[in-house]
């Protein structure tokens, strides 16, 4: 029985490994779309954005006006890098920290206390984005990215004989 199961298992898992580039691309696009939509909302209504950063969000270390501008531009620039897979690990690290600050700065996401929110569904989107960003940080952008193209070009340039 093991003689039949193990080869099938090996073929199945090898076949599933071919999904990795697609999965990494989908994670990049999903997080990029979420950031982009948030940035569009912020830039569409700067007065409301400033109000939110003055009254609702409690961003540490930054005045509300500066935090509003930084957040808007982060949400409009970072998605392009993520979607294209350019500087993915750096952008994923940046996005992860940004996402964590957003969660900490907006107490409405955790109305029953911070630790309860971590276990509950009060900010499920932020948890999903955070996990996807951590995966991109750990695994990189995948084969379908500008990072991969640049890596291949650099590899050829430094290969012996070139």
pLDDT band at 6 (very low <50, low <70, confident <90, very high): confident
What ranges in the chain are assigned the alpha helix state H? 2-17, 20-44, 46-55, 64-84, 88-105, 114-119, 124-139, 146-158
Tens digit of each residue's pLDDT (9 = 90 or more) over 113-140:
655 655 555 578 888 999 999 999 999 9
- Structural domain of residue 54, as residue ranges? 20-158
**Virtual torsion, Cα 67, 70, 75, 80, nearest 10 deg:** -170
pLDDT > 60? residue 143: yes
Q: Is residue 122 part of a domain?
A: yes
Tell whether 7 is covered by a domain. no
Domain assignment of residue 3, yes or no: no
Evaluate whether residue 144 is within a structural domain. yes
CA 160 to chain centre: 36
Query: pLDDT tens, 22-60?
Result: 999 999 999 999 999 999 999 999 999 999 999 999 888
- Within 10 angstroms of residue 34's Cβ, the number of other Cβ atoms is 19
Q: Domains in the chain: how many in total?
A: 1
């Amino acid at each position: 029985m093991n003689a039949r199961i193990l080869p099938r298992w090996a073929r199945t898992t090898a076949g599933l490994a071919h999904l990795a580039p697609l999965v990494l691309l989908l994670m990049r696009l999903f997080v990029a779309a979420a950031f982009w939509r948030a940035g569009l909302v912020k830039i569409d209504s700067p007065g409301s954005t400033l109000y939110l950063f003055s009254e609702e969000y409690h961003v540490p270390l930054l005045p509300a006006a500066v935090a509003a501008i930084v957040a808007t531009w982060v949400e409009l620039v970072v998605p392009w890098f993520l979607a294209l897979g350019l500087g993915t690990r750096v952008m994923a690290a940046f996005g992860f920290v940004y996402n964590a600050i957003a969660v900490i700065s907006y107490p409405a996401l955790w109305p029953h206390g911070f630790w309860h929110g971590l276990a509950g569904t009060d900010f499920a989107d932020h948890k999903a984005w955070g996990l996807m960003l951590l995966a991109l940080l750990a695994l990189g952008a995948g084969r379908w990215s500008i990072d991969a193209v640049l890596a291949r070009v650099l590899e050829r340039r430094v290969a012996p004989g070139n």
